[in-house]
């Protein structure tokens, strides 16, 4: 059904927001560190029209049945379904002093949920941008990213960093966003001409609203406290020898973050030099660190990464996103990426028995 069929009016604005895949820099954003994401072709599209009252009516064409859900501004309630993101946006905007009225919205998305590709950031950032089109408030894109992060942290209960929101706000296709998550200083870097990306959803669902993700964040905060630094970002590879007194668990968690920050900086140099072999090696090292030190991979993801790394067209592959399932990203030669993705997906299906989804290319 169309917007007009649901709401009997025409939309006054349409906003499309992409999902993202993180090339490298995992679990560094909430440690004030460096990240290097890019966007993917899949988008969340929001059609919207303002209302003259305080009623919000919203429908998602991805949900079956696609029913219209209604609530009043000021009466937002936390829930366990997708509506929590919508109500979170209106709650955070209102409590931040931004005036909005009621609205009708139709949401459709090709960004897969549970794949570690920022479906929630695409939704929250997209909705705030759509509301900016309809109501007279001014917010920069970085400010929108901050508010969208607050939606997840304060209303949804997912203690995510700022990477996803900044990536879907700022990056364009075939651009990597090199972001300092402490200062929010960023640089957009064009991908090398021959760099092809492969993104495959493992079929193992991922969520940031859970004990594993929060536990990793708490471990990092505890390690920083014991090491007397504001955040693990303030330590470099030369400080790895200081980690031993933390105990085995915190040592591993801190080692991942410190080494991953260094890998991001190395990856930026490799990108600028067009050194795909070096970048691929950094992908491999990042995955090993996430698997062994941060312990956020799964047997299925490990197998998918191994299959990708054995493909002759692939320079390197890694788990992308928060972990505990989701997707992998692999760097390949541009011309060979489509065929390589099909080979990898077929071998994964044969060896693991789960149906993967090729998202890029």
Tokens 């990042």, located at residue: 286
Q: With 80 as the cut, is the pLDDT of residue 138 above it?
A: yes
pTM of the model: 0.89
Same domain flag for 16 and 137: yes
Paired tokens of 219: 């471990």
Same domain, 173 and 268: no
Buried b (16+ CB within 10 A) or exposed e, 307-338: bbbebebbbbbbbbbbbbbbbbbbbbebebbe
Please tell me whether residues 119 and 252 are part of one structural domain.
no
Q: What percent of the chain has pLDDT over 70?
A: 99
Cα gap 39→121, rounded to integer Å: 12
pLDDT tier at 209, thresholds 50, 70, 90? low
Residues 33 and 179 in one domain: yes
Whether residue 2 has pLDDT greater than 60: yes
pLDDT in tens, 253-307: 999 999 999 999 999 999 999 999 999 999 999 999 999 999 999 999 999 999 9
Question: Same domain for 245 and 217?
Answer: yes
Contact criterion met (CB below 8 Å) for 318 and 283: yes
Q: What is d(CA 199, CA 301) in angstroms, rounded to the nearest whole number?
A: 12
Total structural domains within the chain = 2
Distance CA 98, CA 60 (A): 25
Task: Please provide the average confidence, as pLDDT, over all residues in the chain.
Answer: 95
Residue 114 has pLDDT above 80, yes or no: no
Is pLDDT at 351 greater than 90 in this prediction?
yes
CATH of the domain at 25: 3.30.230.10
What are the Cα distances from residue 319, in Å, to 22, 51, 281, 322, 325? 9, 43, 14, 9, 8
Q: Write the DSSP string, 26-63.
A: -S-GGGT-EEEEEEEEEEEEEEEEE-SSSEEEEEETTS
Q: Say how far apart CA 82 and CA 156 lie, in whole Å.
A: 10
Q: Choose the final residue of a domain: 187, 214, 247.
A: 187
Distance between CA atoms of residues 310 and 327, nearest Å: 17
Would the pLDDT of 101 be above 80? yes
Q: How many residues can be counted in the chain?
A: 361
Which residue among 29, 32, 104, 164 is the active-site one?
164
Q: What is the mean pLDDT of residues 213-229?
A: 95
Instruction: Calculate what percentage of the chain has a pLDDT beyond 90.
Output: 89
201 and 165 co-located in one domain: no
What gap in Å lies between CA 120 and CA 125, rounded to an integer? 8
Residues 284 and 327 placed together within one structural domain of the fold: yes
Q: What is the pLDDT of residue 205?
A: 82
pLDDT of residue 313: 98
- Kindly report the three-state secondary structure assignment for every residue of 222-242: HHHHHCCCCCHHHCCHHHHHH
Alpha-carbon gap, residue 119 to 62, rounded angstroms: 12
Cα separation, 162 vs 149, whole angstroms = 6
Asked if residue 140 and residue 24 are part of one domain, the reply reads yes
Q: Which of 187, 204, 229 is the last residue of a domain?
A: 187
Hey, CA dihedral for 258, 263, 264, 266, is it positive or negative?
Answer: positive
Averaged over 119-134, what is the pLDDT? 96
Is residue 164 part of the annotated active site? The answer reads yes
Does 147 lie in the same domain as 212?
no
Please give the angle made by the CA atoms of 277, 283 and 288, to the nearest 5 degrees: 130
- Residue range 187-200: mean pLDDT, rounded: 96
* pLDDT tens, position by position, 3-42: 999 999 999 999 999 999 999 999 999 999 999 999 999 9
Residue at a domain's end among 187, 202, 223 = 187
Task: Pull the structure tokens for residue 73.
Answer: 């501004």
Residues 179 and 238 in one domain: no
Say whether both 212 and 178 belong to one domain: no
- Taking alpha carbons only, the member of 301, 337, 306, 340 closest to residue 321 is 301
Has residue 208 got a pLDDT over 60?
no
pLDDT digits (tens, 9 = 90+) for 153-184: 999 998 888 999 999 999 999 999 999 999 99
**Claim to verify: residue 273 and residue 310 sit in the same structural domain:** yes
pLDDT beyond 80 at 207: no
Mean of pLDDT values over 99-125: 91
| Cis peptide bond upstream of 65, omega within 30 | yes
Domain with 223, as residue range(s), is 194-360
């Amino acid at each position: 059904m169309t917007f007009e069929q649901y709401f009997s009016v025409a939309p006054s604005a349409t906003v499309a927001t992409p999902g993202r895949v993180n090339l490298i820099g995992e679990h560094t954003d909430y440690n004030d560190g460096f990240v290097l994401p890019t966007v993917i072709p899949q988008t969340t599209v929001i059609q919207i029209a303002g209302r003259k009252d305080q009623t919000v009516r919203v429908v998602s064409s991805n949900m079956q049945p696609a029913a219209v859900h209604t609530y009043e501004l000021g009466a937002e309630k936390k829930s366990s379904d997708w509506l929590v993101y919508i109500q979170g946006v209106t709650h955070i905007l209102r409590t931040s002093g931004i005036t909005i009225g009621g609205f009708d919205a139709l949401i459709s998305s090709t960004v897969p949920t549970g794949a570690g590709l920022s479906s929630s950031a695409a939704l929250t950032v997209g909705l705030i941008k759509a509301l900016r089109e309809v109501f007279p408030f001014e917010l920069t894109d970085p400010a929108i990213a901050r508010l969208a992060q607050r939606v997840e942290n304060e209303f949804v209960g997912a203690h995510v960093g700022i990477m996803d929101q900044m990536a879907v706000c700022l990056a364009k296709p075939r651009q990597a966003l090199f972001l300092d998550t402490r200062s929010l200083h960023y640089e957009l870097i064009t991908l090398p001409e021959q760099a092809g990306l492969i993104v495959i959803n493992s079929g193992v669902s991922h969520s940031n609203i859970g004990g594993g993700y929060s536990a990793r964040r708490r471990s990092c905060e505890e390690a920083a406290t014991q090491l007397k630094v504001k955040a693990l970002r303030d330590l470099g590879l030369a400080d790895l020898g200081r980690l031993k007194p933390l105990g085995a668990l915190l040592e591993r968690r801190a080692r991942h973050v410190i080494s991953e920050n260094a890998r991001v900086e190395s990856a930026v140099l490799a990108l600028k030099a067009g050194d795909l072999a070096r970048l691929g090696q950094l992908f491999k090292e990042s995955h090993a660190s996430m698997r062994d030190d941060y312990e956020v991979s799964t047997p299925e993801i490990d197998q998918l990464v191994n299959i990708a790394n054995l493909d002759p067209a692939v320079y390197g592959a890694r788990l992308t996103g928060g972990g505990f399932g989701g997707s992998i990203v692999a760097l390949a030669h541009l011309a060979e990426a489509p065929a390589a993705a099909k080979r990898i997906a077929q071998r994964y299906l044969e060896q693991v028995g789960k149906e993967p989804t090729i998202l890029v290319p």
